Amino acid sequence: MTTKSIPLTSELHAYLVSHGAPPDEIMRDLAEETRAALPHDAQMQVAPEQAAFLTFLTRLLGVRQAVEVGTFTGLSSLAIARGLPEGGRLTCFDISAEFTGIARRYWARAGVDDRIELRIGPAGDTLRELPHERHLDFAFIDADKTGYPIYWAELVPRMRPGGVIAVDNVLRGGRVIAPQNADDRAIAAFNDEVLADVRVDAVMLPVADGLTLARVH
């Protein structure tokens, strides 16, 4: 028994992934292409166990309307889209046509491209184009770290009661307790903002680089 999450060695991580929902061929190919084509950016891709969790969570919540801020090459959006029921919709916001070009190919290969809409442009602006009513069931934030407060401000009022926002990279490799750069400081401040936000109930989990789940009242 333990009172805190245990550290993961490479071997234990492999065991965890293989005994959860292991990536299928499409997800493995996407991860491998991302590492090969974008070796300096591949760390922006979500971990395989995180992708499995996103699919599980989307199904668990019965999500029909979802948003993703920060799509990169599409692993997280693919995972979310696979959890949607027939007629479900995922709107993705990103600034890179190059990175999301890879995502589009894998969405099509997985047969989920008909349920995903991609909007290219600064998310701080494009999120404002969403309807203002509380209609979103789920949102995933995983974009530029200094923009998190902006995305949070746009999304919380648009979440239905009981809707969930998932926020990635909230531990910054452990540096939130001693920030070393602007992104670290931005996330540390954002975490404090979420903690103080009376509109949500939130929990922070040690999944990959830290994942906050916030249920909107």
Residues 179 and 185 sit within 8 Å (Cβ to Cβ): yes
- Between CA 95 and CA 81 the distance in angstroms is 20
3-state secondary structure of 68: strand
Residues 205 and 4 sit within 8 Å (Cβ to Cβ): no
Residue 105 tokens read as 């190919």
As for how many domains the chain has, the answer is 1
Residue 10 tokens read as 């490479």
HSE-CB of 174 using CA atoms within 13 angstroms: 1
**Residue at 153 is within a domain:** yes
**Residue at 4 is within a domain:** no
- The CA-atom distances, in angstroms, between 150 and each of 50, 60, 68, 80, 194 are 24, 27, 14, 22, 12
3-state secondary structure of 208: coil
pTM of the model: 0.97
**Residue at 62 is within a domain:** yes
**Residue at 5 is within a domain:** no
**Residue at 167 is within a domain:** yes
**Residue at 2 is within a domain:** no
Residue 7 tokens read as 């550290």
**Residue at 91 is within a domain:** yes
Beta strands in the chain (DSSP E): 65-69, 89-94, 116-120, 136-141, 159-168, 200-205, 211-216
Which pLDDT tens digits describe the chain residue by residue (217 residues)? 788 999 999 999 999 999 998 999 999 999 999 999 999 999 999 999 999 999 999 999 999 999 999 999 999 999 999 999 999 999 999 999 999 999 999 999 999 999 999 999 999 999 999 999 999 999 999 999 999 999 999 999 999 999 999 999 999 999 999 999 999 999 999 999 999 999 999 999 999 999 999 999 9
SS3 content of the chain, % helix, strand, coil (to 5): 50, 20, 30
Q: Which one-letter amino acid corresponds to residue 36?
A: A
State pLDDT tens for residues 125-159. Answer: 999 999 999 999 999 999 999 999 999 999 999 99
3-state secondary structure of 104: helix
Q: Which CATH number fits the domain that encloses residue 58? A: 3.40.50.150
Closest CA to 156 of 201, 189, 116: 201
Q: Which one-letter amino acid corresponds to residue 42?
A: A
Range of the domain at 204: 10-216
**Residue at 48 is within a domain:** yes
